[in-house]
Chain A
Amino acid sequence: MNGPFGIAVEPAKLKQAKPKEYAVRFAFGGAITLLTGLIAHYFGPLVGGLFLAFPAILPASVTLLQQHEDHHQAGVDALGAALGAVGLLAFALLIWLLAEHLPAWLVIALAAALWFVASTLLWVVSKRLHRDHQGSSP
């Protein structure tokens, strides 16, 4: 299933992952979320808030990608995550500015949508810049 900018969904890729790999991701993601709650409880929201952007997904995904594909693909994945992290800045900014003014569900939905749109736009722009740079090289 192909979309704009060469974006495609390949459900068959899921067959490569073993149940144990998902169990590790579940346990790690759950543990980080639990720890974030505990840190906020004991040290307050200004310390706990830092951990809302802790790298919880990337270590497992790049390690598994390196095993299933190669080092280069894992590196490209991590650089893509850097763009997602810029989107996460927009997410955090919106939570900070709107949490006291809008209903909770709306703030969370708007912030998630902003993260997705900002990250995708950044990726599209970086892809175009990369293509233009390659096109202008001798």
Chain B
Amino acid sequence: MIVELLLRFLIGGTIVCAFSVISEVIKPQGYAGIFGAAPSVALATLGLTFILKPAPYVAKEGHAMLAGAVALCVYCAFVGWLFLHLRHHPILEATVPWLLWFAVAFGLWGAFLR
């Protein structure tokens, strides 16, 4: 278990960093932004899950990820609106809307996946 968690940490950190680098060097900014919603955690996780679990388990994760992706879309649009219109505290504007992600993701989970 410890080795698996360590592997997850290393692979996840590496893939998130790699997409961050791509996002950093690409212009224009609107296009670079798509890499802010790259499947970084998904790529890091699904590879290991395919090795360790049966395929139906992976399919269930993909099914649930649909709700997470809708929540991510809402989160990104809201953060974009905050940065364009409020211009207050960047760390708060990027992290407080995580609550919105949780609300939408678990709202959809409760409605369709539970």
Contacts and interface: CB of A to CB of B under 8 A. Distances in A.
B25 interface: yes
Contacts, number: 345
Q: Secondary structure at chain B's binding surface: helix, strand, loop or mixed?
A: helix
Among A65, A73, A84, max chain B CB count under 10 A is at A84
A95 interface: yes
Interface in A85-128: 85-89, 91-97, 99-100, 104, 107-108, 111-112, 115, 119-120, 122-123, 126-127
B64 A26 contact: no
A52 B45 contact: yes
Given A54-B68, A99-B62, A33 B45 contact: yes
A9 B26 contact: yes
B71 A53 contact: yes
A50 B65 contact: yes
Given A46-B64, A100-B59, A7 B39 contact: no
Interface in B7-53: 8-17, 19-21, 23-51, 53
Interface residues of B, number: 86
A96 B66 contact: yes
Contact of B37 (A47, A48, A87, A95): A87
Contact of A51 (B17, B59, B68): B68
Contact of B32 (A27, A37, A67, A77): A77
B79 A62 contact: yes
Interface of B: 4-5, 8-17, 19-21, 23-51, 53, 55-73, 75-77, 79-84, 87, 90-91, 93-95, 98, 101, 105-106, 109, 113-114
Given A26-B16, A33-B9, A55-B76, 20 more contacts: A25-B13, A25-B20, A30-B12, A33-B15, A46-B109, A49-B67, A51-B68, A53-B69, A56-B41, A57-B23, A77-B29, A78-B33, A79-B30, A85-B69, A88-B39, A89-B69, A100-B55, A104-B46, A107-B58, A115-B39
22 contacts: A7-B28, A8-B26, A14-B24, A29-B40, A29-B44, A31-B9, A46-B61, A49-B64, A52-B39, A53-B68, A57-B23, A57-B38, A57-B40, A58-B36, A77-B30, A78-B76, A81-B76, A84-B38, A88-B72, A92-B63, A95-B46, A123-B31
